[in-house]
Structure 1
Amino acid sequence: MAIGAAASNDGLTGAQRRDVALLAIFRGISFLGDGLALVALYLRVAPEGHAWAVAALGIAAMAPVALLAPLAGHVVDRVRAKPLLVTLGLVEALVSVGLGYWHALATTIVLVVVLNVSISFSMPGYSALLPAIVGDEHINHAMGTLQAVQGLAYVAGPMLGGLLVGWTGQSVPLYVDAVSFALGTIGTALLSADRRPTPHAEGADRRMTAGLRHVFTDTVLAPVVLDFFVFLLALGMVNVAEVFFVIKTLHGTPLDYGALGAAFSVGTIAGSLVARRLSQDLYAMTRLLLGNVVAAGLSVTAVSYVATVTQIYPLMLVAGVTVGVINVIAMSLMTLRTAEALRGRTFAAVNAVTQSAQVGAYLLGGLALSAYTPRAVYRFGGAAATVAAVVFGLIALRGAARTRDAAALQG
């Protein structure tokens, strides 16, 4: 066996490890650039003095991913991954340059829409490419690596974005984001593996909505996705309430608020790294996923009973670890429960569900805070996540058990 193809102690060949490293590093750089850009854009529209301007920016970023999911998944399942992703990366870099150059509010909103139209295709594209690189048997390991690096970028991006805006103004962070997209394009072009869909293969489902149909008819994925939707709604509501809870209820400082976010992010990185070594047995994965959702819900509920900011830190760290594990296992389950030819449409459908949950969370969070205290919102959000995990978890575990028993009978 050639040295470049030799298997390592993690089961990956040299070429696979190189590709995972390239993808993790360059996608991490791209996520770092996104964090810089997001801060710069929100600081740009905030002085307009209208809440609708901030809301419009958020909708412009989320709506294309949800609305274009069927088309995006359809394209991803018909076109070679590397040429598609390289082209999209170049488009995203050019749009980011435009965002740095043109500052008018209307132009900013339009360019953010264009940027996220492209991202609505690249997100499922990269998700479907990863199993083509490492194979289904190593998806937990590869997914955990990517999620950990992206978590690190999420920690550093907003912080560096704030510093850059303060030092250089609003344009430079967006130019840096353009460079990060360009570097991501280079990293993608350097990959040795590629995904080559065969849309005309015999028996292939060619419908645009096939991914959505698959997600909501699979006996394991359907309850898991529904549980994930409720979990994201609850977590999003808590995120809306967090700043009010820390600053007004507990009389914390902006530094406290930022440090709590950092503690949560550190936890997600640790959880992603732990998840790399977890079993890929279907029943075990389903049980771990739902157990971690319960743990996250209980952690959020516990936050509602604290008397000081200091008491929140260990709870946020625990919640972060559970979310890190959840992210890895959920993506791995989607991969392993979906035929290769359908993965682009499935990941696009799941992206649409998650984006819809985030939009709903902002709306529900705002409504809840207009009627209840931040402490009550934490309590409700944690309880909702916990109850949903128990209800949908039992259904998902029953589906996983049936699949396991059927496989045992066939074996």
Structure 2
Amino acid sequence: MSTPPVPALPAAFNRLAWSNLTAQSAEQIGLAAAPIVAVFALGAGAGETGLLQMAQTLPFLLLSIPAGILADRTSRRRLMAVAEGVRALSLIAILILASTGYLTLPLLALLGFVGAAGTVGYSVAAPSLVPALVPRAALAAANGRIELARSVAFAAGPALAGALVGTLGASPAFALAAALSVFAVLLLLRLVEPPRPALPPRHPARDLSEGASFVLGHRLLRSVLVTAIVFNTAFVILQAVYVPYAVQKLGLSPTAIGATLAAYGVGMVAGALAVSRLAKFLTFGTLIAIGPIAGLAAALVMLATIWVPTVLLAALSFFLIGAGPVIWVISTTTLRQAVTPEALLGRVSALILMATWGARPIGAGLAAAIGAAYGAETCLAVATIGFAIQAAVILTSPVPRLARQPGLA
């Protein structure tokens, strides 16, 4: 199917995209290094890495709504800069503790929580800022650019973290992450945010109710929300036990683990690069459905490593779970921006972020409990069931029947 020409992306958006690239790179290096350090330096097992994952995802459940309300009422650029500054400070603290030999698993989890709190603020404000910087017809292209940057970070971050931790120790990995995070803040400080009308003072509960009513009352967003919640719960169950499973079952080194995790980012890059080409001959709804189907395929491939324990299957699983879902993120973010009034964008983004990423500590908690009681293999089976459910939810909804992006002729 043919698509209209896309307007050029403005300079202000390009600055946001570069900030996003460095911020995502900092996050991915830190997130990949943390469980590797926990397992190899601090002796953590499946239960402990599940708890670490829960600490790193709990802020999405607790802080997304306050961040969304702030994003609709204050400068989104300033909110992003402050939030990224918080993440930079947490990475610097881990660097100091690792360098002096005082890093412990509880401190790693605590500082992971602080860093994730910064991630929440940045992640909520960025999608609500994009429609203010680019015309509606360029939303898909802009979201593709954002996701391509995130994909590059996912590809390079884990590989760098694994190589640095495996050869030089934890300190260089966290030093690089901290430097990138600081650079992301500096880029944001020079971004000019378009002015917008001030909203009248209201109780936060009313703001929250308005955003929740819009999402839950919209038949397309509601289906997307439920799918994303189940997907993220299942994904974190798999992700939380992967490092100890890879060490004990697959016999992988830190460098090899980083390489398999990097396959996730390579898949994301492939998906982000392919999405504009796929959009030329697939309907908008079909494009959205690719992600959940690829997620289920990835879970089945990882489950197969129980019987065929090879690094190649593990890497293929992460590639699939990167390639398909990044197409989902680009297309569903575009859908959300197209159907949501601008005054609600921050709250709607926050609600979806809270519900989807907020499901991650639940998944991490399940992984910790199931992993400690029954082992990582059982976690992989439970995750596969979850991926099957999320695919069924979206495929039976009205979303796959969308012919084009809402709001475009």
**Smaller-chain TM-score bracket:** 0.7 to 0.9
Residues 151 and 347 of structure 1, relative CA distance in 2, 3 Å threshold: same
User: Structure 2 CA distance, aligned partners of 1:168 and 1:312?
Assistant: 25
Q: Is the Cα–Cα contact under 8 Å of residues 23 and 181 in structure 2 kept in the other structure?
A: yes
After superposition, the C-alpha distances for 1:63-120 in whole angstroms (9 at most, x for unaligned) are 2221122211111100122233333334443443334334454665554444333332
Give the superposition deviation at 1:342: 0.9
Q: Is the Cα–Cα contact under 8 Å of residues 35 and 243 in structure 2 kept in the other structure?
A: no
Residue aligning to 1:6: none
Q: Is the Cα–Cα contact under 8 Å of residues 144 and 272 in structure 1 kept in the other structure?
A: yes
Query: Counterpart of 1:360 in structure 2: which amino acid?
Result: I
User: Structure 2 CA distance, aligned partners of 1:396 and 1:232?
Assistant: 21
After superposition, the C-alpha distances for 1:22-47 in whole angstroms (9 at most, x for unaligned) are 22323212222223333554466554
- What stretches of structure 2 of length at least 5 have no aligned partner? none
Residue aligning to 1:363: 365
Query: Counterpart of 2:64 in structure 1: which amino acid?
Result: A
Q: Is the Cα–Cα contact under 8 Å of residues 241 and 377 in structure 1 kept in the other structure?
A: yes
Residue aligning to 1:200: 200
After superposition, the C-alpha distances for 1:308-367 in whole angstroms (9 at most, x for unaligned) are 634565565444321221121122222222111111111111221222322222233344
Matched, 1:300 2:293: no
User: Structure 2 CA distance, aligned partners of 1:237 and 1:350?
Assistant: 20
Residue aligning to 2:7: 12
Q: Is the Cα–Cα contact under 8 Å of residues 165 and 173 in structure 2 kept in the other structure?
A: yes
Give the superposition deviation at 1:224: 1.3
Residues 79 and 49 of structure 1, relative CA distance in 2, 3 Å threshold: same
Residues 312 and 41 of structure 1, relative CA distance in 2, 3 Å threshold: closer
Residues 328 and 195 of structure 1, relative CA distance in 2, 3 Å threshold: farther
Structure with bigger gyration radius: 1
Residue aligning to 2:82: 87
User: Structure 2 CA distance, aligned partners of 1:215 and 1:245?
Assistant: 38
Residues 291 and 324 of structure 1, relative CA distance in 2, 3 Å threshold: closer
SS of residue in 1 equivalent to 2:232: helix
- What stretches of structure 1 of length at least 5 have no aligned partner? 1-8
Q: Is the Cα–Cα contact under 8 Å of residues 24 and 150 in structure 2 kept in the other structure?
A: yes
Residue aligning to 2:187: 187
Q: Is the Cα–Cα contact under 8 Å of residues 143 and 276 in structure 1 kept in the other structure?
A: no
SS of residue in 2 equivalent to 1:12: coil
Residues 297 and 45 of structure 1, relative CA distance in 2, 3 Å threshold: closer
Q: TM-score, normalised by structure 1?
A: 0.79
Q: Is the Cα–Cα contact under 8 Å of residues 54 and 364 in structure 2 kept in the other structure?
A: no
After superposition, the C-alpha distances for 1:219-259 in whole angstroms (9 at most, x for unaligned) are 1111111011112222333334555766666x564466544
Residue aligning to 2:55: 60
Q: Residues 142-157 of structure 1 correspond to what in structure 2 (within 5 A)?
A: 142-157=142-157
Query: Counterpart of 1:62 in structure 2: which amino acid?
Result: T
Residue aligning to 1:126: 126
Residue aligning to 1:340: 342
User: Which of the numbers 63, 66, 74 marks the counterpart of 1:71?
Assistant: 66
Residue aligning to 1:31: 24
After superposition, the C-alpha distances for 1:167-193 in whole angstroms (9 at most, x for unaligned) are 655444434333222211222233344
SS of residue in 2 equivalent to 1:184: helix
User: Structure 1 CA distance, aligned partners of 2:86 and 2:294?
Assistant: 41
Return 231-240 or 61-70, whichever deviates more: 231-240
Residue aligning to 1:3: none
Give the superposition deviation at 1:50: 6.0
Matched, 1:393 2:392: no
User: Structure 2 CA distance, aligned partners of 1:293 and 1:122?
Assistant: 25
Q: Residues 291-330 of structure 1 correspond to what in structure 2 (within 5 A)?
A: 291-305=290-304, 307=308, 309=310, 310=312, 316-330=318-332
Residue aligning to 1:287: 286
Query: Counterpart of 1:341 in structure 2: which amino acid?
Result: A
User: Structure 2 CA distance, aligned partners of 1:36 and 1:280?
Assistant: 34
User: Structure 2 CA distance, aligned partners of 1:18 and 1:64?
Assistant: 32
Q: Is the Cα–Cα contact under 8 Å of residues 290 and 393 in structure 1 kept in the other structure?
A: yes
Give the superposition deviation at 1:214: 2.5
Residues 138 and 386 of structure 1, relative CA distance in 2, 3 Å threshold: farther
Q: Is the Cα–Cα contact under 8 Å of residues 231 and 387 in structure 2 kept in the other structure?
A: yes
SS of residue in 1 equivalent to 2:199: coil
Aligned-pair identity in percent equals 21
Q: Is the Cα–Cα contact under 8 Å of residues 58 and 360 in structure 2 kept in the other structure?
A: no
Q: Is the Cα–Cα contact under 8 Å of residues 288 and 327 in structure 2 kept in the other structure?
A: yes
Matched, 1:159 2:154: no
